[in-house]
Structure 1
Amino acid sequence: MAVTIIVMACLVAAATAGVVPATPITYATTGYHGAPDAKVVVEDYNDHPQYSFSYKVHDVVTGDSKSQQETRDGDIVQGSYSVVEPDGIQRTVDYTADSHNGFNAVVHREPLGANVASVTKVAAPISYAAAPVVHASPVFHTAPVVHTSPFAYSPPIYHH
């Protein structure tokens, strides 16, 4: 009973939040198996998309240095990105993508020399020590052994 109440409360909360539509969805069925009709409505379709963006980061404190630029004109994308690796080598990737040739990239690597501010991150060495192993002696709980026999000796009883 409690589970039913909780499930109903969750459904009401989802319906009021807009996750579940308040009105039931009905599908027009076609064919023997009753598959729903697929109707795709795309309102904002751009048959020739165009954009251009770029960014650059150079943080002296952390040593992070990277950049990227990209342009798109229809189905043709051209761009490049670069990053300074921890060993002081700058990796630059120039790339193009289109529907005829696919994605192509050319990678260049060049040392930057002494004029690059590099930050060496040094972490304190971590030493691991195994926890001490204590071997305890086995504990034996022994009770006194009492041997009784039906032929045990008992002193005679005297009556006065």
Structure 2
Amino acid sequence: MLFKVAAMMMMVNAALPFPSDMYAPAPQPQHMDGMPYNFAYAVKDQYSGNDFSHNEDSDGKNVMGTYSVQLPDGRKQTVNYKADHSQGYLAEVNYLGEAQYPHVYGPAVTFKPQPSYNPQPQPEPAPSYEPQPVEPPQPSYQPQPVHEPEPVIMAMHMPAQMSQSMYQ
């Protein structure tokens, strides 16, 4: 009987992992709509030469935006893009201006930072060569008192003195 039950369980177990149609197409992923949002930022720093911006809008399904950057060759690159789940990411790249390459090469242009904070130096106190008394640090906690256990005295019964004749 035990053999029949074990054989039956093995047959059921072997049939379970196989799907009914192994060559069916894979299920398509479910895309949930996102939340609508928008953002924008821009940086234009004359000192370092950084000039870039980005803005983007989304209705939860489609995303549309643009970003631009000032390239080192003097051109401005602008990318307009659109993205969704059906067409993917589509971008249109434009350049404004003509690339400029210098004919004379020299050392790299470096920018030295200008200090914006000039603290006034404070006079230092005259050094003292005499030893200064040092106080030991005080603990910031109150230690708990230590209690020693009281000694335990055990009464022992000793045999009474025996006469000398017993050991002879």
TM-score by length of 1: 0.41
Higher fraction of strand: 1
TM-score by length of 2: 0.39
Structure number, greater radius of gyration: 2
